[in-house]
Amino acid sequence: MRADVPEVFVAGVGMTRFGKQPEASLRSLAEDATAAALGDAGIAVDDLEAVYSANAVAGLLTGQEMIRGQVFLRGLGLDRIPVINVENACASGSTAFNLAVQAVAAGTYEMVLAIGTEKLSHPDRMLTFRAIGTAVDVERAADGAGASHSPFMDIYAAMTRSYMERSGATQRVFAEVAAKNQGHGRLNPLAQYGGTVSVDEVLSSRPIAWPLTLLMCAPVSDGAAAIVVVGRAMARKLGREHVRVAASVLTSGTRPDRAEDIPNAVARAARHAFRAAGLGPCDVDVIEVHDAVAPAELMALEDLGLAAAGEAPALMASGATRLGGRIPVNPSGGLLARGHPLAATGLAQLCELTWQLRGQAGARQVEGARVALAENSGGWLQDDAAVGAVHVLTREVRA
Amino acid sequence: MRADVPEVFVAGVGMTRFGKQPEASLRSLAEDATAAALGDAGIAVDDLEAVYSANAVAGLLTGQEMIRGQVFLRGLGLDRIPVINVENACASGSTAFNLAVQAVAAGTYEMVLAIGTEKLSHPDRMLTFRAIGTAVDVERAADGAGASHSPFMDIYAAMTRSYMERSGATQRVFAEVAAKNQGHGRLNPLAQYGGTVSVDEVLSSRPIAWPLTLLMCAPVSDGAAAIVVVGRAMARKLGREHVRVAASVLTSGTRPDRAEDIPNAVARAARHAFRAAGLGPCDVDVIEVHDAVAPAELMALEDLGLAAAGEAPALMASGATRLGGRIPVNPSGGLLARGHPLAATGLAQLCELTWQLRGQAGARQVEGARVALAENSGGWLQDDAAVGAVHVLTREVRA
């Protein structure tokens, strides 16, 4: 595999506010995110040559399958160019971005859109939970019902308990992650939540599946995020040579025989991505990780090589991962505070990192950020994420 | 858009028999097609670097969404490499192939698998019809219920009536197409149907929506088809430099203001594909088109430029499109006889054309075939296919 993509750039990013938006439709969310990304790139709808459209649950929640992107984007006239519908659980957005990057790297197109659109909120909450639950092997999941309403929260809770055993992490450190990310989210006008939340408030919120409490889990969200991807010549023409895609790596999961010493999907993706970018964990200035639950942020930092095994709680305790720290993690508020509209999440992470690299992140700006990394994971197979996605973006000094 | 992909080859193809296969699972179908394609390429599972997996209706029929490819292919260990889930209605398979070609053209991977897997047969036949009906904008479709059980058959019937008006085609010529393709299918051991069917038998079969009768419509099918896609260096190493991908083009549909003089999605895809391949309609030796209904074969030939507007019935009557004729169309039996497991169809067309270009098509061989074209279309927007896909494969003289 070759993961370096030296001639691909992020020309424009845009996202809707994330949150429960009963008044919004999948179509209006997709239109709003697209308009924002096109505006940011300084281009018109007709300049786009193809769309890579991610969505995870609309089939089950609305009955629309097969041509979701064409339907969502019809109002913009984007049903006249190739629309490729992509699905990869919570990593659907990163998968769409990966395909967009590949298409431009191949020279097939000069300018394409990657978009993730999701409306999770639904009058029937159980329908939403059941839809989210299809990110596992549903035949196997039917064999055993867990403690929570979601197979995912049961899986995350079990992973977390195992992590606590091997790292000595306490429930309190997970609450500290949640409080940190709510604090970051307070600085993000597009975040669903965000505010001053105390560690004790997190600990005393409703128990979900031990040790997870409600405020340690990403909320149900609606939203869309979109990115215009271009080659170097087009980036130059548009004056958008600021943010380069230095690596784009997808993996899927499962480790043979559940061997602990074989790196998981995210760790494998990270190794490829760093090698491709010619960079290492110490070079990264700002990170967005997939904190679908608070402990996942710590586990991700270890998988990415930013902390040694079992050392992420100490890194967190040192203050390094807060805004103002050595390596701010989830400055956007992460999934916990920004929200988690499944297929939009991976692209929202890349929107945030683009703003960070351009110095446009306002009150949550990481000063002088040059190298940014996004980790997005999705679904679950027997012992690992079904999808691990790692992207590295860099600020171009020439730009 | 650049549609030429000069360095991408088909290294191996494989498909299951198509047909109603109540004993088969999505998993067994995917495994069988993959094993056949890997065997044909002379490679092992571990040689693959990524999988582009297409499926259209399993979400609605089985409840499995989000990570369908990982689940279908888990038994082979293919859940350890990137699996990208693709959905584009009846053109899902061609879309997966297009992405696979792009990934190799980009240099991201040297060897990938494109696979389409579909199980349409279900104890509840209405559930199958409802699932197939999600290839349109379901909100709009809910506004009006048609004569048949399927919005698709109503759309095809209306298109056919309009085609009859402008071309003078009779119902009988559509029956002749169906009888021809059943005759071709008789020579294909993997076809669902195929046999000696008379034009009168087609005409007297159950009416679906005028002028379509049952034998003019593709059946409900289960099946999978898979293709190993490689770059030139790998093709040479494997001794599989015979079949080159000369063009791979996707479009989506809708024509502004329904203007008749703006070419439809398939016609636009064909123009791009011929330009990219440096070839024209007269260079094509063998064709597979999307005959989801018999009249669609004639309309496709006109969209592709193989017959002038309104002239496809005369081309058909001349015998040119039969095996042994000047330009055999659907030698495999097409969707009508080979069957139409939605996401598998586009890849099955490319399997057939690969066998034709290699001289391995047995009793249905088109002698000396050098240039082959596949047309696959999917879904429906207000006035056009939601997806049009055209691929051109060529036999390499050097190989």
Which pLDDT score, from 0 to 100, does residue A3 have? 55
Which pLDDT score, from 0 to 100, does residue B259 have? 60
Which pLDDT score, from 0 to 100, does residue B257 have? 54
Distances (CA, A) of B180 to B220, B336, B373: 20, 10, 19
Strand partners, A209: A212
The predicted model scores a pTM of: 0.96
β-bridge pairing A111-119 and A50-54: parallel
- pLDDT band of residue B1 (cuts 50, 70, 90) is low
- pLDDT band of residue B255 (cuts 50, 70, 90) is low
β-bridge pairing B222-231 and B111-119: antiparallel
d(CA A394, CA A61): 37
Q: Residues A149, A340, A351, A391: which is the catalytic one?
A: A340
Which pLDDT score, from 0 to 100, does residue A119 have? 98
Task: Find the mean pLDDT for residues B262-271.
Answer: 92
DSSP 3-state of B44: coil
Which pLDDT score, from 0 to 100, does residue A150 have? 72
Catalytic site residue B122? no
Chain A 2-21, residues with CB within 8 Å of chain B CB atoms = 2-3, 5
Task: Find the mean pLDDT for residues B367-377.
Answer: 98
d(CA A180, CA A341): 21
Task: Find the mean pLDDT for residues A52-77.
Answer: 94
The string of pLDDT tens digits covering residues A321-365 is 999 999 999 999 999 999 999 999 999 999 999 999 999 999 999
Task: Find the mean pLDDT for residues B199-212.
Answer: 97
Which pLDDT score, from 0 to 100, does residue A181 have? 98
Catalytic site residue A242? no
| Phi, psi angles (nearest 5°) of residue A85 | -90, 125
- Asked whether residue B287 carries a pLDDT value surpassing 60, the answer given is yes
The string of pLDDT tens digits covering residues A99-143 is 999 999 999 999 999 999 999 999 999 999 999 989 998 887 766
**Dmax (CA) of chain B:** 56
Sort out which chain B residues have CB atoms less than 8 A from A256's CB and list them: 77, 80
Nearest CA in chain B to A92: B66
Give CA angle at A13 (A22, B91), nearest 5°.
75
Task: Find the mean pLDDT for residues B44-68.
Answer: 95
- pLDDT band of residue B397 (cuts 50, 70, 90) is confident
- Asked whether residue B399 carries a pLDDT value surpassing 50, the answer given is no
Best mutation target among A45, A65, A376 (most B Cβ atoms within 10 Å) is A65
Q: Which two tokens stand for residue B340?
A: 């139409």
Residues found in chain B? 399
Task: Find the mean pLDDT for residues B109-129.
Answer: 95
- pLDDT band of residue A399 (cuts 50, 70, 90) is very low
Q: Among A145-159, B58-72, B296-310, whose mean pLDDT is lowest?
A: A145-159
- Asked whether residue B2 carries a pLDDT value surpassing 90, the answer given is no
- pLDDT band of residue A4 (cuts 50, 70, 90) is low
- Asked whether residue B205 carries a pLDDT value surpassing 50, the answer given is yes
- Please check whether residue A386 touches B, CB under 8 A: yes
The string of pLDDT tens digits covering residues A222-239 is 999 999 999 999 999 999
Residues found in chain A? 399
Handedness of CA A61, A62, A66, A72 (dihedral sign): negative
